[in-house]
Structure 1
Amino acid sequence: MNRPLPVATTAQARRYARDLIRLHPGMFRAVIGLHVAAALAGLAGPRLLGDLVQGVHDHAPMSELDQTAVAIAAFVVAQALLIRSAHLASARLGERVLHRLRTEFVSRVLALPLSRVESAGPGDLLTRATRDVDALAQCVRFAVPETLIALITLGLVVGALVLVSPLFAVPLLVGVPFMVAGTRWYLRRAPGGYLRQNAAWAEVTEGLAETVQSARTVEALGRGHQRIRRTDIALRHSWRAERYTLRLRTVWWPLIETGYVLPMVLTLLAGGWLYLHGRITLGALTAAVIYVQQLVDPLDRLVGWLDELEIGAAALARLLGVAAGPSPVPAGTPETGSNRIEVRGVRFGYEPGREVLHGVDLVLEPGERLAVVGVSGAGKSTLGRLLAGVHRPSEGSVTVGGVPLTELSPERLRAEVALVTQEHHVFIGTLRDNVALVRPAAPEGEIRAALTAVQALNWVDELPDGLDTVVGAGGRPLSPEQAQQVALARLVIADPHTLVLDEATAMLDPRAARDLERSLAAVVSGRTVVAIAHRLFSAHDADRVAVVENGRIVELGAHDDLVAAGGVYATLWRSWQGETREGAPGGRALS
């Protein structure tokens, strides 16, 4: 069962948001200043319009009325220019903040232990990298500045209304209970609702990603209806989660609208009564009514974008949660004394209470070639991943030069031990960039030598642009065999002292695989190699063979000695040799 990545707390998200603002204090002050100036320019219009109405009522000179009209037009133009400048400043600040958020998110993802990524499954991480990032972008670009504008405008409009006459503040108080009670009710429920909504969508993405990746297997086994049912169940969960947040909005929004419609009605009634009794002028009444009307737009904006803020806050908590778990590496990276790898009393299980490895002991001397064999499900690949530092042992230790692999930083770990499986990814870019991924500054001579070592240079030179041919999505497609050779060439460039090859040549035909392994053996001579053997000729060529059965190493020794002993390995060897003689090229796959 997949274990979703953690989610940051509300306090952590708020602290991170405050830290982002502190990184750009000048830009933030400029944004606030421009929005305040725009709001102040907007406040002059209603007051001047009230004076214009009063002037008409009092039969003021036409020149005075013209001056008032020109002043109104000037403030309207000034407000438009200030609003444009404020929006541009907000956009610049938002893009800088968003750039930092995305960069840090990618850094957090790349710093995660591979085991943590695998246990979370592709759906959770993919949803955070797409849907949550998009939601946060919407929040940073629009929701934050619009909410800021709304709050500033509200405060200034209320202040201007009080300056017209403090009596006009009384109707506003009628709407406050509706707004405060409704907003508090909403904010208590919205964060959890949106987190559940995002998690439910991750479940949908997880199922779709698994189905697409395993489409051939699903079709071959006739499990299409089962996958459709799983997707339907995930969609029902997502629908229920979204229905809950929709219900919150359908309760909250009417309360807010009631909160600002009532003050408007009461202002008209109370203002009319005051005017009729000579307590205020017609101009003051006009200005007050327009100011109250002006409260509608920022309140509408605040209600609409506050919902987006909650969505963005949930997205931010999920993005920050990628690194919220315990750090896989303590502070500082100790020096390794040698390249000797020792496995002592190792136990491991992917789920609590279900061990895969049971008390494994193994010592790998520098420069040794070890083949790990056994039937499917014996624990070979799990052992290989522990040797590569992908997983932490539940008990026991895996050390290199006396230092536990779990105490090495990711960069240092990959310089010591590298894992290559039959699952490879071709990145968008040139073939040169793909091969030199581990060391981008590698000269062309080393890149070509690496491709020669994995017998790939011939087909590379036949490409239209050679090493500069664009491959990956949208570029020239590579066959599974070619992608595997590119991955092995990366390994040659990386040059770690220990290699863990988990069926690294499984995509090649048996004869080509054996030729490639021999060529690769010459290149990595002097390095420790652990080969999870897919075909037993890998075991025949190794210095030692470890036979894994039911999560234990049941036999360990040289090929000839194990065959002569007549145990588990001898049985596997005879079976493989028999199938080879019957015409199965390269023998039976054991894993």
Structure 2
Amino acid sequence: MKMFSTLAARFLAIERLLGSHRCAAAMVALALARSLASVLAVNALGGLFSAIEAGASAARAAAWTLLWLAALELMQTGALWLRMRLANAESGRLQRRLLRRCIASGMDSDMPGGELATVAARDVRQVAEDGFAALEGSCTWLISIAVYMVYGLIVNPAATVVLIAIEFGVIWSIKKLNDQLDTQNEARRQAYGKWFELLGAVADKMEACMACFDPDKLLAALEKRAFRWNEESRRSLDTLLRVDGRFRAGRLLSELLVIVSGLVMWLSGSIAIGTVYASIVTVQKLCDLFEKSSDVLDDLTRCQSTVKRLAQLRSERLVSVAHGERQLQGALELKDISFSYDGGSAVLDGVDAVFEPGHMYAIVGTSGCGKSTLLKLIGGFLRNTGGLLTLEGRPCADMSREELWASVQYTAQPAFIEGSFRDNVLFGLAMDTARFERACAGCEDFLARDAAEDAWIRPNGDPLSSGERQRIVIARHIYRNSPVLLLDEPFSNVSVEVERACLARLKSQLAQACIIVATHRTQTREEFDRVLTLKGGRLYD
């Protein structure tokens, strides 16, 4: 029972960390439906054999059984289709939620920037893709075990009780073998590492080795380490075979028990031949499920470790903010702003600027002059080491991130999630048809080509061209309609013509917003109301 409680505890822990209660409940329901369909199929075939034994029309009984099996197969197919659709939808939602947590925790997390980026890039996607697979696998396993146990107790109680005792005895007996196997696998990995390390050293310094060492001794050292590696591999294989042998012995004993007891009861007239068949199939299914127990537990363990890394991020409630309704009532003002990384030399030193709503500004400068740093300061991703940054007369340092991000939107390189065109424009916001149509007014050509706003987009933006990706990002900005829009080198991968068209569209659709663009290009200066140059840590007209 400890194995079941461990599986259930890890299942609930992952489900709680993922926050996907609706999806988990649906998975339980679908797994139950599929398990019941499988059991009913076994029962239907057993009923067919019993009906034929009782003298019923074989053709008629077979026809009814085939119809019943077809209905059950359709039920299983429908459950699988629903599971895939649900998992896909929940995976995209989870990916967005976890990425928001990564962003929200970026400033206050104790993780180094590189580790945080690794969590965002690797762990979020891994959990989104593998988390539901682990949940579904463990859920299906637990429910299938329970359903087949109940069914076995109905058709052949005595044999099922003995079978369960045998299988639990086998699992208990191999627990120490599994621990021993883990130790041996680790020793095998270390032995291989030492052998490979020596082989690499010899290959790198072949001439020196031959000059300084006796070739026979060198070869003997290599053979010794190779032998150690082979010996550890042999021990691991022996232990693995012992584990497999115990499972097979338990399976053989269980099948022999149910076959002998079933035949004895059938010959005595206690049960029908269909019940014997159902008992045998149930035993085989339960044996298969018990043999998969370690794999299911390993999958949950791997997924749980990844989810725990995500849980280390500061989990805070992200306030839902209504976008597209608020207009900026005052200016964004920078007074004597300074900033340096980790106490080093100043990147920004005495920056003064006033950015008014309804204007588009360009910040130009050489690579590494601090343009991105300045935008990240305004966006709340960095804290200035000196000076005062205010929005509508209120210090930004006094605002929570939710308050600041309700007014300020920062975008670096175009980002995409795996999903439809609509998902990539909304980016987590609620759907407003009128706003959506207005935001997507410049995307009609490839929308028509891909046959609707549900055209599928992959995380790297495929299959869209660079210009089409940029237009989707512009549509996203227009739909969100933030009072302050910060764009960090957004058009570095598109032509000047595409950049000019995107800037014109932003300016016309977000006429009341304050738009600040950091760029290294000078060909589109005429599109901006004001061009500022960042040099030596300060802004100049």
TM above 0.5: yes
Asked whether the equivalents of residues 436 and 479 of structure 2 are also in contact (C-alpha less than 8 Å), the reply is no
Aligned to 1:258: 249
Corresponding residue to 1:387 among 378, 389, 398: 378
Residues 132-181 of structure 1: CA deviation (Å, up to 9, x unaligned):
656566667777446533442234325644447xxx96686455322234
Counterpart Cα distance in 2 of 1:169 and 1:467: 61
Deviation (angstroms), 1:378:
3.5
Alignment of 1:182-331 (within 5 A): 182=174, 252-264=243-255, 291=279, 294-304=282-292, 307-308=295-296, 310-311=298-299, 314-315=302-303, 318=306, 325-327=313-315, 331=319
Determine if the alignment matches structure 1 residue 534 to structure 2 residue 507. Answer: no
Aligned residue among 142, 148, 157 for 2:152:
157
- Which residue is equivalent to 1:108? 97
**Residues 28, 139 of structure 2: 8 Å contact kept:** no
- Cα 1:116/1:506, change in 2 over 3 Å: same
Q: Residue type matched to 1:98 in 2?
A: A
Moved more, 517-526 or 146-155: 517-526
Aligned mates of 1:446, 1:134 — CA distance in 2: 30
Q: Structure 2 vs 1, CA of residues 309 and 88 (structure 1 numbering), >3 Å: closer, same or farther? A: farther
Tell me, yes or no, if structure 1 residue 441 matches structure 2 residue 442: no
SS at match of 1:377: coil
Structure 2 distance, partners of 1:82, 1:73, is 15
Whole-Å separation in 2 of the counterparts to 1:507 and 1:170: 69
Secondary structure of 2:170's aligned partner:
helix
In structure 1, list runs of 5 or more residues that go unmatched: 1-7, 50-62, 194-242, 452-459, 560-591
Q: 1:138 to 1:492 in 2, by over 3 A?
A: closer
Please give the secondary structure, in 1, of the residue aligned with 2:373. Answer: helix
Q: Which structure's CA Rg is the greater one?
A: 1
CA distance in 1 between partners of 2:147 and 2:417 (Å) = 50
CA gap 1:185/1:266 in 2 versus in 1, 3 angstroms: same
What is the RMSD computed on CA atoms of the aligned residues?
6.4
Match of 1:441, SS state, is: helix
Task: Name structure 2 gaps, 5 residues minimum.
Answer: 1-8, 107-112, 186-232
Q: Is the 8 A contact 1:365 1:528 kept in 2?
A: yes
- Change in Cα spacing, 1:534 to 1:302, as seen in structure 2 (3 Å) is same
Deviations, residues 451-473 of structure 1 (Å, cap 9, x unaligned) = 7xxxxxxxx9xx9x598455989
Question: Compared with structure 1, are the counterparts of its residues 385 and 353 closer, same or farther at alpha carbon in structure 2 (3 Å cutoff)?
Answer: same
Instruction: Provide the residue aligned with 1:497 in structure 2.
Output: 483
**Alpha-carbon distance in structure 2 between the residues aligned to 1:258 and 1:184:** 17
How far is the alpha carbon of 1:299 from its aligned partner? 1.3
Cα distance in 2 for partners of 1:370, 1:403 equals: 21
Take 1:536 and 1:363, find their aligned partners in 2: how far apart are those partners?
21
Partner amino acid, structure 1, of 2:354: L
The DSSP-based 3-state class of the residue aligned with 2:434 is: coil
Inter-partner Cα distance in structure 2 for 1:289 and 1:511 = 74
Relative distance call for 1:302 and 1:544 in structure 2 (3 A) is: same
In 2 relative to 1, CA 86–179 (structure 1 residues): closer, same or farther, beyond 3 Å? Answer: farther
Distance 2:276 2:497 in 1: 89
In structure 1, C-alpha distance between the alignment counterparts of 2:436 and 2:21, rounded to whole Å = 44
Aligned to 1:98: 87
- Give the Cα separation in 2 of the matches to 1:374 and 1:111: 31
1:263 CA displacement: 4.3
What is the alpha-carbon distance in structure 1 between the residues aligned to residue 103 and residue 32 of structure 2? 42
Whether 1:340 aligns to 2:341 is no
The counterpart of 1:179, out of the listed 171, 174, 178, is 171
Secondary structure class of the residue paired with 2:356: coil
Distance 1:137 1:499, change over 3 A: closer
Q: Summarize the Cα distance change of 1:345–1:184 in structure 2 as closer, same or farther, 3 Å threshold.
A: farther
Name 2:191's counterpart in structure 1. none
CA distance in 2, matches of 1:184, 1:360: 67
Aligned residues: 451
Q: 2:127 and 2:479 mapped to 1: Cα distance? A: 36
Q: Which residue of 1 aligns with 2:14?
A: 13
2:214 maps to none
- In structure 2, the CA distance between the partners of 1:447 and 1:249, relative to structure 1 (3 Å rule), is same
Q: Are the equivalent residues in 2 in contact too, given 1:40–1:156 (CA < 8 A)?
A: no
1:77 pairs with 65, 81, 101, which one? 65
SS in 1 for 2:313: coil
Match in the other structure for 2:391: 400
- The amino acid of 1:366's aligned partner reads E
Displacement of 1:384 in angstroms is: 1.2
Q: 1:496 to 1:339 in 2, by over 3 A?
A: farther
Residue 108 of structure 1: how far off its partner (Å):
1.6
**Does the Cα contact within 8 Å between 2:10 and 2:304 map onto a contact in 1?**
no
Deviation at 1:111, TM superposition (A): 3.4
Paired AA for residue 177 in structure 1: G
**Alpha-carbon shift at residue 515 of structure 1 (Å):** 10
Q: Report the CA distance shift for 1:112/1:546 in structure 2 as closer, same or farther (over 3 A).
A: farther
How far 1:381 moved relative to its partner? Answer: 0.9
Q: Identify the residue that residue 54 of structure 1 maps to in structure 2.
A: none
Letter matched to residue 14 of structure 2: A
> Partner of 1:102: helix, strand, or coil?
helix
Shift of 1:94: 3.0
Query: How far apart are 1:300 and its partner, in Å?
Result: 1.2
* Identity rate, percent: 14
Q: In structure 1, what residue type is equivalent to 2:383?
A: P
1:539–1:179 distance in 2 versus 1, CA, 3 Å: same
Q: Is the 8 A contact 2:99 2:120 kept in 1?
A: no
